[in-house]
Structure 1
Amino acid sequence: MKENVSTPIYSLTPFSLLDYPDKMACILWFAGCNMRCLYCYNPEIVQGKGTLSFEETTSFLLSRKNLLDAVVFSGGECMIHKNFVPFVTEIKKLGFLVKIDTNGSSPEVMQKLLFLHLVNYVALDFKAPKSKFEAVTKSDLYEPFEKTLDLILKAKIPFEVRTTYHSDLLTEEDLEAMVYFLETKNYVGNYYIQYFRNNVDTLGKLERSNNKIDCKKLSTPTIKIILRE
């Protein structure tokens, strides 16, 4: 995939209280992605081009010092962009906390970020079990995702795992398998399920999702399923 190096960021949300737990943050939406998830409701970001450069974004963040706590790097997929680590380094120097939203496809980049202590929080998308990963994401990036999960677990930084559920793509049995997989990795904590947003434009032409999941059935003594509407 060809990337726009000079303007990698599609847009910027200047203020959010929802995207970093208990912090005031802004969100940087990076253009482009190396997956094509059928349920994706940001096709304009995934398939679009960036409009903001690192320099323009840094200038904005300078004006928000002491007003915001954190910067959320999202997308698309933020970590596929050239010079991403140096950019995060500069943002960290400004005193902001850093949250990374990622599909886990770039373990080498994540390793660098963790080694340099540049990340404070990670939201890792668990797209599907291995058996369905390629069908859901139109990619062969399951192994990189697993490597990224292992790196984050080893680093012992705050993070969350989340899955978008569409009843045509995943079954409750799939979700049970995904919970079991996390247990084999010794993951402990919350596992967030996001229902597919019906009546929105998506990359795939999906029918309405039957958004009904038994959270109590899927939860285990060590992993609690939490729905995000």
Structure 2
Amino acid sequence: MIGKVISNITPFTLLDYPHKSACILWYAGCNMRCLYCYNPEIVLGKGTISFTEVISFLKKRVGLLNAVVFSGGECLIHKNILNHIKAIKEMGFLVKIDTNGSNPNVLKELINTNLIDYVALDFKALPNKFKTITKSSLFVEFETSFQLLKASKILYEIRTTYHSNLCTNSDLIEMQNYLNEKGYTGNFYVQNFSNGSETLTPLSNSISLKMEVLNTSKKPTIVIR
């Protein structure tokens, strides 16, 4: 647990864990290279904060924060992540994971050992565009993670980032249909790309998605954030 694998800490947020006060641990590194990624310094950079420093920070937040969000990058690629999560869980915090779903074996262990309370699973694209957008071949792993969550009692959400140059309205409807066919009953959260953000790959401005262009009667419900 000595290595520095955390890039930054957001000390307080009311937005990242539903109805809870939380902090965010941003783990450096990722096994995807999503074109629209707005955290290039985290994905490509090195950690600057040790887990010992995180524990010291959290000891001062016991009773003040409800939860800790593990994000990145991709937090589940780190070899000590299970120990990190267990240590924070033992401090009494709720734990949320932000993940691209590429490490189902780690996710399964977290579910089986009751170490996580909430998961945000990134649905990057369907197979026809997955490799183009993520520069990876990890869709099967994502799908396995999705099935693990669906079969569990863990609270979770499915979300995606929308950039009009990379994703069409038809793509979103197809993703919505995929989730429906797989039996997903939660909301499908869509985040509009934030124009002006530094990204891994230079992108022109995105035209924001408008709810009225989608078939809102279909399930799961698309919610634009």
Same fold (TM over 0.5): yes
Answer whether contact 1:161 1:191 (CA < 8 A) is retained.
yes
1:77 is aligned to 2:87:
no
Deviation at 1:217, TM superposition (A): 2.8
In the alignment, the residues of structure 2 paired with residue 220 and residue 142 of structure 1 have an alpha-carbon distance, to the nearest angstrom, of 27
Match of 1:63 in 2: 60
Query: 1:23-172 residue pairs with structure 2 within 5 A?
Result: 23-172=20-169
Secondary structure at the counterpart of residue 221 of structure 2: strand
For the residue of structure 1 that corresponds to 2:128, the secondary structure is: coil
How many Å apart are 1:214 and its aligned residue? 3.3
CA offsets, 1:174-221, max 9 Å, x none? 111111110111000211100011112111111111113335734345
Runs of 4+ in 1 over 6 A off after TM superposition: none
Aligned to 1:191: 188
Q: 1:84 to 1:18 in 2, by over 3 A?
A: same
Deviations 1:63-122 (A, max 9, x none): 111111000000000000011001101110000000000000000000000000011000
In the TM superposition, 1:210-225 aligns within 5 A as 210-214=207-211, 217-225=214-222
TM-score, scaled to structure 2: 0.96
- Hey, what's the Cα distance between the residues in 1 that align with 2:129 and 2:39? 21
Name the CA distance, whole Å, in 2 between partners of 1:216 and 1:24. 34
The residue identity in structure 2 corresponding to 1:149 is F
After superposition, the Cα gap between the structure-2 partners of 1:194 and 1:5, relative to the gap in structure 1 and judged at 3 Å, is farther
Q: Is the 8 A contact 1:167 1:210 kept in 2?
A: yes
Aligned equivalents of 2:88, 2:139: Cα separation in 1: 30
In structure 1, stretches of 5+ residues that fail to align are none
Decide which of 202, 205, 221 is 1:205's aligned counterpart. Answer: 202
TM-score normalised to structure 1 length: 0.95
- Tell me the CA shift for residue 171 of structure 1: 0.8
Deviation at 1:148, TM superposition (A): 0.3
Task: Specify the SS of the correspondent of 1:223.
Answer: coil
Separation in structure 2 between the aligned mates of residue 54 and residue 214 of structure 1, nearest angstrom: 42
Q: 1:215 to 1:72 in 2, by over 3 A?
A: farther
Give a deviation string over 1:24-83, Cα, whole Å, max 9, x none: 100000001000000011101111110111111111111111111000000000000011
Judge conservation of contact 1:166–1:210 (CA < 8 Å) in 2. yes
Deviation, 1:223, is: 1.1
Question: Residues 26 and 139 (structure 1 numbering): CA distance in 2 closer, same or farther, change over 3 Å?
Answer: same
SS in 2 for 1:131: helix
Say which SS state the counterpart of residue 11 (structure 1) adopts.
strand
1:5 and 1:82 in contact (8 A); partners too: no
Distance 1:224 1:55 in 2: 41
